[in-house]
Amino acid sequence: MSAPSIVTDRMTRHPSDSHTLERYLETGGYQALAKALEMAPDEVTGEVKAANLRGRGGAGFPCGLKWSFLAPSKPAYVVVNGDESEPGTFKDRQLMERDPHQMLEGTIITSYANGANHAFIYIRGEYPRSARRVQQAVEDAYAAGYLGSDILGSGFDLEVTVHLGAGAYICGEETGLLNSLEGRRGEPRLKPPYYPAAKGLYMQPTIVNNVETLANVPWIIENGGEAFAAIGPDGSRGTRLFSISGHVRRPGNYELVMGLTWRELIYEVAGGIPGDRALKCWIPGGASAPWFVPDDHLDLPVTLDDTAKAGSMLGSGAVVIMDETTCTVRATERLVRFFAHESCGQCTPCREGCSWLERILRRIEEGAGREVDVDMLLDISDNISPGLAWPPRMTTICPLGPSAVSPILAITSYFKDELMAHIHQGGCPFD
């Protein structure tokens, strides 16, 4: 693929030292910051708006629009969401380990554009190497005058604190993250009223952006929003990192311009399936996303809007590929187990429902399933996500509970035979 490379360019060309300040400066680093500091803050926001950069964390919210919603009261904060935990996703880890300054420069520019003088980089606890490299980058940036007071003589001050998570997927949800950063349980907050832009960290206006989103910001400032918006199809501008895993020959992170088809992504980018086995299904955007199957979706374009129209999402950019040898009941059990394990426990339907679903699935996988369990799985799901629609409606505060429903819908609609086989045979046909 001869795609333009925005966020992985440096690490591709300089694999041995792309994470160092020296290499970063040598490859044009911190020039976007210098440029941004010459601009008025709202001009910076204007460029990001013009770029039509959409969030890379999962929800895909337009980044510039998010910035423009920030309430005016001070202090304001910028929080970098490096709590990458969606199963199948490992792109932010690469960005933090291999090019931490790029993300940091994006953070500084974002803080400047939003009038924040303190930014926090929240990195999941299971990523100590990411944290070490980001911390080193922060220390080097302080020493070089890109952080601290009066950055590059602009009068702009910024402190950055690297904060380590401790094992909770729900902290990837922005308000759960803010609670965590405040030293509380990472329980998502009610929205309304606790929209981060108005009542975020310490109840102050707060921008929460994903690592990859921020990593794009220096390029946008350097090259202009229009140049970014010229890349890729409408609604899916710029490039995007896809974490491809599962049954493929070449798993890994790929920076792609969107608009290619899933067939191209799976068979060309990722090299197809080992042993030329048949593709059974794939998860197009992280564990929360409804599954795709070859018959219906293989030739759909990989864009935010086409994926949404087909009833799923690109989410965190994690593509998990399952071949014909996969027991989809076991895969579903594993995914639902994840959500049950990661439920924060505050909402009844998620706390009780997810683990109920998990236990029914395990019972089926272990051979003690009953025919009534199939309708029950759907009805319990319906009580977490009424109508079983996409995007999900929710009986919960945050989308974690409804996320557990996605794989259940997949096995009950695409792989019902397999599910029934488990029940009728009293065990897993793949064992």
Partner 1 sequence: MVEIRSPSVRRGWSESARARASEIVGQYPEPRSAVMPLLYLAMAEEGYLTDNGMREVASLVGLTPAQVRAVASFYTMYKRDDPGRYLISCCTSISCMLLGSDEVLRAIEDESDVTAGETDPEELISVEHVECIGACGGAPAVTVNYELIEGMTAESARELVRWLRTARPEAIVGAECQELFGGRRSFDWGPFDRDSALGPYPAFGPLGTVSGPAEDQDG
Partner 2 sequence: MTEPVTVTINRRQVNAPAGELLIKTAQDNGVYIPRFCWHPRMNPVGMCRMCLVEIETPRGPLMVTSCTTPVSDGMTVDTANPTVKKAQEGVLEFLLINHPLDCPVCDRAGECPLQDQTMAYGPGESRFVEEKRHFEKPIPISELVMLDRERCILCARCTRFSEEISGDPLIEFQERGNYTEVNTFPDEPFRSYFSGNTVQICPVGALTATPYRFRARPWDLTFVESTCQHCSSGDRINLQSSQNRLLRILGVDSEPTNQGWLSDKCRFGFEYVASPARLTSPLVRDEEGELREVSWGEALDYAGKALGEVISRSGGRAVAGLGGARGTNEDAYAFSKFLRSAVGTNSVDCQMDDGLDPRLLSGVVDRARIADLENAGSILVWGPDLKEEHPTLYLRVRRAAQELGAGLVVVHPRGTGLDDRASVKVTYQPGSGGEVLSELMDGNGRMAEAREVLSKGPVVALLGRPGYGESPDLAEATAAFVRSLPDATILPLARRGNVFGALDMGLSPALLPGRAQRGTLAAQMLADRWGELPAASGRDCRGILEGLESGDIEALVLVGADPVRDVPDGELARRALANAGLVVAIDQFLTDSSRMADVVFPAMGFSEVEGTVTNIEGRVLKVNRLTPGPGQSRPDWAILSDLAARLGADLGLVSAQQISEEVEELADIYRGVNWERLDWEDRDGIVVSGDLGYVPVFSHVASVSPRPGEMALHYARTMYDDGVMMRESPSLRPLAPGSGAHLHPTDAARLGVGEGDSVDVTSSSGSLQAGVVIDPTLEPGVVYVPFNQPDTASLGSVPGVRVSA
Residues lying near partner 1 in the complex (CB under 8 A): 11, 15-19, 75, 84-90, 92-94, 97-98, 118, 124-129, 131-132, 135, 161-169, 180-186, 202, 243-247, 251-253, 283, 287, 318, 320, 322, 326, 330-331, 334-335, 337-338, 341-342, 344
| CB 53, CB 64: distance < 8 Å | yes
Assigned token pair, 314: 């690109």
Q: Beta-carbon neighbour count of residue 121 at 10 Å?
A: 27
Nearest distance from C-beta of residue 186 to partner 2, angstroms = 9
Q: Which of 33, 265, 344, 419 binds partner 2 (CB under 8 A)?
A: 344
Nearest distance from C-beta of residue 178 to partner 1, angstroms = 10
**Alpha-carbon distance 110 to 217, whole Å?**
8
Instruction: Identify what 4 binds: partner 1, partner 2, none; CB under 5 to 8 Å per kind.
Output: none
| CB 53, CB 228: distance < 8 Å | yes
Nearest distance from C-beta of residue 215 to partner 1, angstroms = 15
Tell me: does residue 341 bind partner 2 (CB under 8 A): yes
Assigned token pair, 140: 């080097």
Distant-in-sequence, close-in-space partners of 13: CB < 8 Å, separation ≥ 6: 27
Instruction: Identify what 340 binds: partner 2, partner 1, none; CB under 5 to 8 Å per kind.
Output: partner 2
**Alpha-carbon distance 278 to 55, whole Å?**
33
Alpha helices in 115-244 (DSSP H): 128-144, 174-181, 196-199, 211-223, 225-229
- How many chain residues are in contact with partner 2, going by CB under 8 A? 36
Q: Beta-carbon neighbour count of residue 11 at 10 Å?
A: 21
Instruction: Identify what 305 binds: partner 1, partner 2, none; CB under 5 to 8 Å per kind.
Output: none
Secondary structure of residue 145 in the 3-state scheme: coil
Looking at residue 273, the DSSP 8-state letter turns out to be -
**Alpha-carbon distance 54 to 326, whole Å?**
33
Instruction: Identify what 127 binds: partner 1, partner 2, none; CB under 5 to 8 Å per kind.
Output: partner 1
Instruction: Identify what 164 binds: partner 2, partner 1, none; CB under 5 to 8 Å per kind.
Output: partner 1
Tell me: does residue 168 bind partner 2 (CB under 8 A): yes
**Alpha-carbon distance 212 to 317, whole Å?**
11
Looking at residue 366, the DSSP 8-state letter turns out to be T
**Where does residue 427 rank: exposed (0-12), middle (13-18), buried (19+ CB within 10 A)?**
middle
Nearest distance from C-beta of residue 115 to partner 1, angstroms = 16
Q: Is-cis flag, bond preceding 193, omega within 30?
A: yes
In angstroms, the Cα distances linking 234 to 141, 225, 381 are 36, 14, 34
Nearest distance from C-beta of residue 348 to partner 2, angstroms = 5
The residue among 35 and 132 lying less far from partner 1, judged by its C-beta, is 132
The residue among 102 and 175 lying less far from partner 2, judged by its C-beta, is 175
DSSP per residue, 94-109: HHHHH-HHHHHHHHHH
Footprint of partner 2 on residues 363-402 (CB under 8 A)?
363, 372, 376, 380, 382-384, 386-387, 393-397
The residue among 23 and 49 lying less far from partner 1, judged by its C-beta, is 23
Instruction: Identify what 355 binds: partner 1, partner 2, none; CB under 5 to 8 Å per kind.
Output: partner 2
Instruction: Identify what 330 binds: partner 1, partner 2, none; CB under 5 to 8 Å per kind.
Output: partner 1
Backbone φ, ψ for residue 160 (5° rounding) = -125, 130
Q: Which of 68, 352, 378, 421 binds partner 2 (CB under 8 A)?
A: 352
**Alpha-carbon distance 170 to 227, whole Å?**
35
Tell me: does residue 173 bind partner 2 (CB under 8 A): no
Nearest distance from C-beta of residue 370 to partner 2, angstroms = 8
Instruction: Identify what 209 binds: partner 1, partner 2, none; CB under 5 to 8 Å per kind.
Output: none
The residue among 209 and 253 lying less far from partner 1, judged by its C-beta, is 253
Tell me: does residue 347 bind partner 2 (CB under 8 A): yes
The piece of 8-16, 120-128, 236-244, 346-354 that touches partner 2 (CB under 8 A) is 346-354
Instruction: Identify what 68 binds: partner 1, partner 2, none; CB under 5 to 8 Å per kind.
Output: none
The residue among 167 and 275 lying less far from partner 1, judged by its C-beta, is 167
Nearest distance from C-beta of residue 393 to partner 2, angstroms = 6
| CB 255, CB 324: distance < 8 Å | no
194-197 LR contacts (CB < 8 Å, sep 24+): 195/69, 196/79, 197/66, 197/69, 197/70, 197/71
Helix-strand-coil split of the chain, %, nearest 5: 50, 15, 40
Nearest distance from C-beta of residue 95 to partner 2, angstroms = 28
Q: Which residues bind partner 2 (CB under 8 A)?
A: 168, 185, 190, 192, 340-349, 351-356, 359-360, 363, 372, 376, 380, 382-384, 386-387, 393-397
